[in-house]
Structure 1
């Protein structure tokens, strides 16, 4: 573990953002945490994210152990994404980000 932290200049925030940072991963994780758990639903919630980008980000999140992908034997195939226990540990962070976002929006509207 110490070696891993040293790779990020000793900064645990950098190590964290390496796993779920960027433009789309936080949104994907947040949406999955509030039961938006199908590919099409995720794509509708993030219209600026291409299918290819969404697929890549979902694969990376799965590879990092933050989400599970369950495929149901149906025609057409049904795929559901859920948070793993590791992913579930991010819920308090998303709750705080959501609270901060709401307060910031209120603050911005008060300025106008």
Structure 2
């Protein structure tokens, strides 16, 4: 006969494993959304996003043109006029939370 403690332990392990699987699915879904958005922005399928491609999908209001141009310039870390997959991942992918949290830490130190 299985003791109450053992039953409770098995139940906790089962719940924890389902939670872990759910968290992994959320991460995979986020990566998928990020990749899908990159492909939508990359109109000519050259694995690079130009300023015009970026503005064509992102900019809904013409009055915000300068704001989107400035944002694109910030994201273009190598300053070559295009966003590659790595630059895009840093801005919109998994690393976004890590990047923003490190920026907050740097600001607090100053």
User: TM > 0.5 between the two?
Assistant: no
Q: Which has the larger radius of gyration?
A: 2
Specify the TM-score bucket, using the shorter chain as the normaliser.
Answer: 0.3 to 0.5
Query: Structure 1 or 2: larger helix share?
Result: 2
When normalised by structure 1's length, the TM-score is 0.32
